[in-house]
Amino acid sequence: MINFQYTRANDVADAVRQIAADPTAKFIAGGTNLIDLMKEDVERPTRLIDISRLPLKSVEETAGGGLRIGALVPNSDLAYHPLIERRYPLLASAILAGASQQLRNMASTGGNLLQRTRCYYFYDTATPCNKRYRRGEVRRRVQHEWPRLWQRRHIPHR
């Protein structure tokens, strides 16, 4: 993993100031996706700005009858929230089916929405990928390898 600075935002305005001052910085809350990407050398932020203690962990009813879900609500809290279970049972089921209990306890709702792609090429830094280019690199057209892999192994397509 790379060296990086770590800071904690005191409030939302402080988080905005910090990210504006360093465009290569990244916000971190649960970190379930970002830390993996840093380990694989896909992401290389110069600074991590911890936003996990900001007051964005509530689920509230809106005047129009909907719900406002805070970006830092852990997935496990969201899945078991009484309003979610009652009004949006499919969402609760999807969250519970989407990850292990350990990941649901750490992962934030906002982080899930901002999660980077899960493509095979994206995580393989030896393979060119149009979604994982860095400033100064030329985007290269990625040719899909899976059809050739299937042909080499003589596995019939369906």
pLDDT tens digits along 98-107: 888 888 899 9
Indicate if the pLDDT at residue 69 is higher than 50. Answer: yes
Indicate if the pLDDT at residue 38 is higher than 60. Answer: yes
pLDDT at 91: 94
Q: Is 48 helix (H, G, I), strand (E, B) or coil?
A: strand
Alpha helices in the chain, H assignment, sequence order: 12-21, 34-39, 75-79, 82-87, 89-98, 101-106, 109-114, 120-123, 146-152
Indicate if the pLDDT at residue 117 is higher than 60. Answer: yes
Share of the chain above pLDDT 70, in %: 78
How confident is the model over 77-96, as pLDDT tens digits?
Answer: 999 999 999 999 999 999 99
